[in-house]
Homo-oligomer: A and B are copies of this chain.
Amino acid sequence: MSNISGDHCPLAHDGQDVVKMAHGGGGRAMAQLLDSLFRPAFDNPWLERQHDGAVLDMPGSIAFTTDSYVVRPLFFPGSDIGAMAVHGTVNDIAMCGAEPQYLSAGFILEEGLPLATLRQVVESMATAARATGVRIVTGDLKVVERGKADGLYINTAGVGRVVAAHPIEPGQVQAGDRLLLSGDIGRHGIAVMAAREKLDLESAIESDCASIAAPVLALLNEGISVRCFRDLTRGGLASGVVEVAETAGLAAEVREADIPVREDVSAVCELLGLDPLHVANEGRFIAVVAPEDVDRAIAILRRHGVSEAAVEIGQFIEGSAGRVTAQSLIGGSRIVDRLSGEQLPRIC
């Protein structure tokens, strides 16, 4: 409650380089943290203006989306919360048929978080943003007391210019449309779970966390009639397909034999009693396209590293809204439902 003033600087001088409540107070300590850490990392003219928001020149239609990131642990094989906070929101913009351009970043920091950890996360965000060609143009910082967060939480929101000539959304899906999957599933969920539970896996399973904007924009720019995209995060492929089918008022069928799952991922899933169709991903998506576009769409996807293993896995059909059936490897079929409860909390 005291109103500290003068030259005391909690960040630079007291030898304990951790987040303090003062860093969230709106005063000098916060200003110094922004100047020394965030603005240099996210370096761009909008942040330099130090205003309450960013003014962006964006003629036409824009896509607007948000996600909060609470993944635990903060760092895991193949990625970390910072890279996820960029790629996850970039991917949601791309799923709207738009080119990701600008992000906001809101940080909720727990008192006592080592500043070195914060720096590592912020630099990972900056690296991911540069690699994806997006700018982090506005942000916010809050600090809560010890025990009122878990290290740090990040929210990013994003905007991007719509490039699709027609709406890209579940409501556009028609019976007969085909379901393309951009690659193997389940790696992100298993990587996070293994890191959290300290599972001793024979092979290193790394998260698939990555931007999927490039192949998405390539499909649109090369004239593929994409009805809908959906990235396969919480709830996995199963929830993604069920949700699209429900909103579209259609049923769907998928062929399990055609869904790529790495052998090591499949082995861990079997061991833990998990269905790979429910395991979260961070760099995988489905694209729903007209039947005549399938071959060309697959060829375009395979030109991009992040979707080089793209395959057709099924189709939408007339039927009860949201009913998804999987033809199993051995010939039978089963109903695929969205995840009912939680499989792995705080996966993203």
Contact = CB atoms under 8 A, between A and B. Distances in A.
A203 interface: no
Nearest to A140: B67
A39 to B, nearest CB: 12
Interface in A138-193: 138-140, 142-145, 147-150, 153, 155, 157-159, 162, 167, 169-171, 193
Most interface-central of A10, A31, A137 (chain B CB within 10 A): A31
A343 B25 contact: yes
A98 B170 CA distance: 32
Given A27-B340, A27-B341, A140-B67, A56 B51 contact: no
A287 to B, nearest CB: 13
Interface string A286-325: 0000000000000000000000000000000000000000
B70 A62 contact: no
Interface string A40-64: 0000000001111111111111111
A27 B346 CA distance: 13
A150 B148 contact: yes
Contacts of A106: 66-68, 106, 155, 157
Contacts of A280: 26
Contacts of A21: 341-342, 345
A339 interface: yes
Given A105-B66, A341-B29, A342-B25, A55 B4 contact: no
Contact of A60 (B59, B67, B239): B59
A28 B340 contact: yes
Interface stretch (A119-127, A228-236, A253-261): A228-236
Given A25-B235, A27-B341, A140 B68 contact: yes
Interface of A: 1-6, 8, 10, 20-22, 24-31, 49-70, 91-93, 95-98, 102, 104-108, 137-140, 142-145, 147-150, 153, 155, 157-159, 162, 167, 169-171, 193, 229-231, 233-236, 239, 243, 247, 272-275, 278, 280, 337-346, 348
